[in-house]
Amino acid sequence: MTVDFNSDFFHSLTPMGQRFALYLSKVFRTQSIHRRNLSEFARQILIIAKKRKHIKETIRQTCDNLIKNGFQLLSDYNFILSADRQAELIVFHRAGSPVVNKFNIHSKKQKLKKEQFRIDCLTEDILDICQDDKSKNFYQRVADLMPDEDIYQAISEVKEIRDSGHIKKSLGAVFTSRILKFAEQRGIILR
């Protein structure tokens, strides 16, 4: 992975700042806004604090220091509640546009055909597990906007729940809740 800063800048940061810089360099490759559950982010970055307010203060200090020291990818950040108001999210805002595929050798028309074929295949895979034809339009949107690995992770989790026999709601509802969680983490709006 290439990063958007040099070695001198990286080594001038605190260990926490280094972890943030690496994490943000990765997510900002494809996203201009990145939303993440605050608790999950703290566990991944290894912020050790007993209280939520201490986690938030560590994030604030680290982000402020990154911006102050010239980390060019991060323009702003804030804290919000999730759509279901059950979790608090950290939202990072990228400065500039994400990197796009600069080596696209296909014409736009060929790419659209390939993309539509991929979308159709992913939609069929989702329908095969969910058995919910009424939601086909939503599944097509998921196939169009979400990374393949997130879709297949959600499908895998639904299969695991189905095979365990501990299902209380429809498989389509289980898939939807899983994929919406992944979308929220990536800052993708599906609804």
Same domain, 80 and 58: yes
Report pLDDT digits (tens) over 80-94. Answer: 887 777 888 888 888
Side chain identity, residue 70: G
Percent of the chain with pLDDT over 90: 14
Residues 19 and 90 in one domain: yes
Q: Is 17 inside any structural domain? A: yes
- Domain match, 90 and 140 both: no
Q: Which two tokens stand for residue 4?
A: 């958007």
* 87/129 same-domain check: no
pTM above 0.95, yes or no: no
Whether residues 70 and 113 fall in one domain = no
Query: Is 61 part of a structural domain of the chain?
Result: yes
135 located within any domain: yes
Together in a domain, 90 and 112? no
The beta strand positions in the chain, using DSSP E, are 33-37, 74-81, 88-94
Q: Both 115 and 159 in a single domain?
A: yes
Given a contact cutoff of 8 angstroms between Cβ atoms, the answer to whether 96 and 4 are in contact is: no
- Residue 58 pLDDT: 92
- Domain range enclosing 173: 108-186
Q: Considering only CA atoms, which of 143, 139, 142, 172 is closest in space to residue 158? A: 172
**Residue 102 counted as domain residue:** no
Please give the tally of structural domains in the chain. 2
pLDDT digits (tens, 9 = 90+) for 96-153: 766 554 444 444 444 444 478 888 888 999 999 898 889 999 999 999 888 888 898 8
The pLDDT assigned to 3 comes to: 55
Identify the pLDDT of residue 108: 47
